Structure 1
Amino acid sequence: MSGLQIGGTPPLRSFWEHLGGRPTFERLVRRFYEGVREDEVLWPMYPEHDLEGAIQRLTGFLEQYWGGPGTYSEQRGHPRLRMRHQPFRINPEARDHWLQHMRTAVDELDLAPADDALLWDYLERAAHAMVNTFEE
């Protein structure tokens, strides 16, 4: 994906490009799912126990969100995150476990502080939006 070009200035790079493209996002997601695999709250949400599909979906979603290829929508349609997660019981405990594993994965990317803050702000907001029950 090429960046936006304004006048004679060089094209603006997307955040996806800035962070290194697919390899960075795939590294993030694979590390995240390493934590999920060991998590007593989140792991039961993956009954097939084959995370490759989940890894590809989350990587594709994050790539598209941050300015990379639109493959996610081409293959799966509109993201509709809340609708897609509705079958799962996502309470504040599950959200916090999700954020814990994602924080570990983000930390391992060793991003510049401003990049880390931008990425983390989105991930936190997204995680809070997925909560669909307050029952234990």
Structure 2
Amino acid sequence: MQIEEKPADKPPFETLFAWIGGEDRVKALVERFYDLMDLESNFAVLSAAHGNTLENARERLFWFLCGWMGGPQHYTDRFGHPMLRMRHMPQQTGGGSIGIAERDQWLACMNQAMTETGVDEVLRIRLNASFFQTADWMRNRGGA
């Protein structure tokens, strides 16, 4: 994801990937995100939506975020266009029902993971805004 800003608001790096610190930092973020999902009771709805094992999800989110942030296109090199909404539909293999509760828990879990892994505060705020837009668009059922 290229960052397009007004000159006065120009971020300190050309891409979010560079800003976060590259693959190692994206990997640390994803690992903490799924560790929290697996360990914290307040993310139980989110964890249940991911099924029995989180290993496949960990790998795919890492690959996706690297490319989405403007780094290596690991996900698209393997699977083509992410088609996020289609891949998360309940009738798709591995897809789950996403409502407001799942959206909000995903966002809270990711925010906590970003905080705990030391993501720069300004970057964390920008990512939270982008993640909210995407997570809200991903909802495939109304209500909680």
Give the alignment's TM-score, normalised by structure 2: 0.78
1:19 and 2:27 aligned: no
Secondary structure at the residue paired with 1:40? Answer: helix
How many Å apart are 1:90 and its aligned residue? 0.6
Secondary structure at the residue paired with 1:68? Answer: coil
What RMSD, in angstroms, separates the aligned Cα atoms of the two structures?
A: 1.6
How many Å apart are 1:73 and its aligned residue? 0.3
Q: Matches of 1:24 and 1:134 in 2, distance apart?
A: 34
Runs of 4+, deviation exceeding 3 Å: none
How many Å apart are 1:135 and its aligned residue? 4.2
Larger Rg over CA atoms:
1
How many Å apart are 1:25 and its aligned residue? 0.8
1:121 aligned residue: 129
1:111 and 2:107 aligned: no
What does 1:82-97 align with in structure 2 at a 5 Å threshold?
82-87=85-90, 88-97=96-105
Q: Matches of 2:102 and 2:119 in 1, distance apart?
A: 26
Give the alignment's TM-score, normalised by structure 1: 0.82
Relative to 1, partners in 2 of residues 1:43 and 1:116: Cα closer, same or farther, differing over 3 Å?
closer
2:3 aligned residue: none
1:37 aligned residue: 38
What runs of 5+ residues in structure 1 fail to find an aligned partner? 1-11
Q: Matches of 2:123 and 2:50 in 1, distance apart?
A: 30
1:46 aligned residue: 50
Secondary structure at the residue paired with 1:41? Answer: helix
Q: Which residue identity is paired with 1:26?
A: K
1:77 and 2:80 aligned: yes
1:131 and 2:135 aligned: no
The number of residues matched between the two structures is: 124
Q: Give the % identical residues.
A: 33
